[in-house]
Amino acid sequence: MGKMMVAALTRYPLFLMLGLAAAAGIGLLDGEPWLAGNGFLLLMGASLGLAGALLLLTAAGLFRRVGTTVDPTKSPDELVTHGIYGLTRNPMYLGMLLLLVAEVCLLGRPLTLLSPLCFFVLMNTQRIPAEEAMVEARFGAAFTEYKVRVRRWL
C-alpha cells in the first residue's frame, strides 16, 4: 500500500473505513447479482460513482486550499461556506454516500442496500452532530447562521 493511500486512510475515523470495507464485503458475499447486466443500473452506478468521487475530491480540495483540516476529528481552522459548501454542509459525506449507492447499482446485490442506509444513519446520528458541536463551539454565531442557510445533506 502506497504512502498516499495510508495517509488518506488515516484522515478519516476508523468506523468510516470499516463501514466501507463492510460494504464491499457484503457485496461480495451476497450470492448472485439480482440485476446483473442491467445497462441502466450500470450506467447509473458509474455516474453516481463518478459524481461521488468528484464531490468528495472537490470538497476536500477546497478545505486544503483555504488551509483547514479534512480530518473530521479535529477542529477546523476556517469555516468554509462557499463553493460546494454553499449547497450542502457535508459534501464529503455526501460524496461517500453516492459512492456507496453506486456500489449497490454496480454490484446489483440486495444486501449492499444496507451499506448506504447504515452510513446515512451513522452520519446523521453520530459523526455529523459531533462535528457540528465542535465547529459551533469554534465559530459560534457564524456557524449557527450557516446551519440555518445551508442544509445538512441537500
**Which residue would you say has higher pLDDT here, 66 or 24?**
66
Question: Is residue 111 pLDDT above 80, yes or no?
Answer: no
Per-residue pLDDT band for 141 (boundaries 50, 70, 90) equals very high
Report the 10 Å Cβ neighbour count for 37: 8
| Residues shown for the chain | 154
What is the distance between the alpha carbons of residues 53 and 34, in angstroms, rounded to a whole number?
25
What is the distance between the alpha carbons of residues 151 and 154, in angstroms, rounded to a whole number?
6
pLDDT score recorded for residue 2: 44
Cell numbers found for residue 154: 441537500
User: Could you tell me how far CA 68 lies from the centroid of its own chain?
Assistant: 18
Per-residue pLDDT band for 17 (boundaries 50, 70, 90) equals low
| Domain boundaries of the chain, sorted by first residue | 34-149
Element (H, E) at 23: helix 14-29
In the chain, pLDDT over 90 holds for what percent of residues? 57
What is the distance between the alpha carbons of residues 29 and 57, in angstroms, rounded to a whole number?
29
For residue 24, the number of C-alpha atoms closer than 13 Å in the C-beta half-sphere is 6
pLDDT score recorded for residue 19: 58
Task: Kindly report the pTM of this predicted structure.
Answer: 0.80
Burial of 27 (0-12, 13-18, 19+ CB in 10 A): buried
